[in-house]
């Protein structure tokens, strides 16, 4: 049985209502590939940038278990084992395989997964059976015309589909997946990347729609202008606050997102132990895919 939302609000740093939490998380950079093409996604392998999409390396499920063991020695406040990249967690089998191992080795840890949701409806039963406690789906629009401005296309059953047609499929699968997983009792968070000229007037509709589909909490992540949206701008404080206020009419809003790396370790916003945990595991740098927290 997955942990309840009420319990997560006290145990999980990214499901905290109100004040910032002092619980920690370890991100396991286990998922190398992605199946969609977000226009703001820029992956990088290095140890210095602090943003989603960046990792020192990609590790194997067994290495993830060793990494958790080491991380708990440095930071006993870690309560959550999360997988958020560097690609999509459902585009390859490694994330679910790792959670199976975590369930056996560290039953006390909250199992947290983040996905773009394209394969969520198809893999919902597997996600439920593996025992995920908290799931995040990134939904940047629920209107295909808007989504198509944020995402170039998807890889869907062996086909590359682009534009509004791709956006329609993505949104349909995301909402269907959110419903299936939340109906099974798993607490669901939705992340939205706030892009001022594209989806800022759409936030209220997204919040209302995902709350109706079963999400419990909502997180608005300010755009980091890069890749094809490098000429867009980051939303200012007023725009963020306005978006939060609008979303709060329908759903709890998480306010302490740190736009974490895919291999972050520690309390979000505090000291990062990633260098000590992943240093032996760094391999040749790769230019592959990215994550979304
Ligand atoms: Fe990681 Fe994401 Fe789980 Fe948190 S991060 S997989 S839900 S354990 Fe948290 Fe970091 Fe923001 Fe993500 S502060 S980027 S929301
Ligand atoms: Fe989008 Fe995440 Fe895939 Fe990058 S890794 S394209 S942000 S879903």
Q: Can you give the residue ranges of every domain in the chain?
A: 5-280
Q: What is the pLDDT of residues 195-206, one digit of tens each?
A: 999 999 999 999
Looking at residue 292, its pLDDT comes to 53
Point out the residues of the chain with pLDDT beneath 50. 284-291
Q: Which atom of ligand 2 lies nearest, measured to the CA of 116?
A: 8
Q: What is the pLDDT of residue 127?
A: 97
CB of 25 closer than 6 A to ligand 1?
A: yes
Per-residue pLDDT of 21-48, as tens digits, reads: 789 999 999 999 999 999 999 888 888 8
Is the beta carbon of 292 within 6 A of some atom in ligand 1?
A: no
Residue 282, pLDDT score: 64
- For 150-191, write each residue's pLDDT tens digit: 999 999 999 999 999 999 999 999 999 999 999 999 999 999
Return d(Cα 103, Cα 109) in angstroms, integer.
8
At the top level of CATH, the class of 5-280 is: alpha beta
Query: Does residue 265 contact residue 274 with C-beta atoms inside 8 Å?
Result: yes
Distance CA(13)–CA(242), nearest Å, equals 23
The rounded Å distance from CA 14 to ligand 1 centre is 6
Whole-angstrom distance, CA of residue 1 vs CA of residue 190: 21
Q: Is 30 in the pocket of ligand 1 (CB under 6 A)?
A: no
Task: Check residue 289 and give its pLDDT.
Answer: 46
Q: What is the pTM of this model?
A: 0.94
Q: Is 233 within 8 Å of 224 (Cβ atoms)?
A: no
Is residue 27 within 8 Å of 71, Cβ to Cβ? no
- Which pLDDT value is given to residue 25? 95
pLDDT, residue 49, reads 86
Q: What is the residue whose two structure tokens read 């370890």?
A: 26
Contact (Cβ atoms closer than 8 angstroms) between residue 78 and residue 25? yes
Q: Which pLDDT does position 284 carry in this prediction? A: 46
Q: What are phi and psi of 10, to 5 degrees?
A: -105, -15
CA distance 270 to 40: 26
């Amino acid at each position: 049985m997955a942990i309840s939302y009420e319990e997560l609000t006290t145990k999980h740093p990214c499901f905290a209502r109100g004040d910032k939490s002092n619980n920690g998380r370890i991100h396991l950079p286990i998922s190398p590939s992605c199946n969609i093409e977000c226009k703001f996604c820029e992956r990088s392998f290095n140890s210095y940038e602090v943003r989603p999409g960046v990792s020192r390396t990609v590790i194997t499920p067994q290495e993830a278990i060793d990494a958790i063991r080491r991380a708990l020695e440095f930071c006993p406040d870690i309560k959550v084992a999360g997988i958020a990249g560097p690609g999509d967690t459902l585009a390859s089998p490694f994330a679910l395989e790792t959670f199976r191992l975590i369930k056996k080795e560290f039953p006390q840890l909250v199992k947290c997964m983040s996905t773009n949701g394209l394969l969520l409806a198809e893999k919902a039963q597997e996600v439920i059976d593996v025992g995920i406690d908290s799931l995040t789906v990134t939904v940047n629009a629920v209107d295909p015309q808007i989504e198509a401005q944020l995402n170039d296309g998807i890889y869907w059953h062996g086909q590359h589909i682009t534009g509004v047609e791709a956006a329609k499929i993505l949104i349909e699968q995301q909402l269907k997946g959110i419903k299936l997983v939340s109906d099974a009792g798993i607490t669901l968070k939705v992340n939205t990347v706030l892009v001022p000229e594209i989806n800022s007037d759409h936030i209220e509709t997204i919040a209302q729609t995902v709350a109706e589909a079963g999400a419990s909490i909502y997180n608005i992540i300010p755009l980091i202008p890069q890749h094809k949206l490098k000429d867009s701008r980051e939303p200012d404080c007023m725009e963020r606050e306005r978006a939060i206020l609008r979303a709060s009419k329908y759903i709890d809003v998480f306010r302490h997102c740190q736009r974490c790396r895919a291999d972050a370790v520690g309390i979000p916003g505090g000291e990062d132990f990633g260098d000590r945990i992943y240093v032996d595991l760094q391999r040749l740098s790769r230019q592959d895919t990215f994550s979304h927290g």
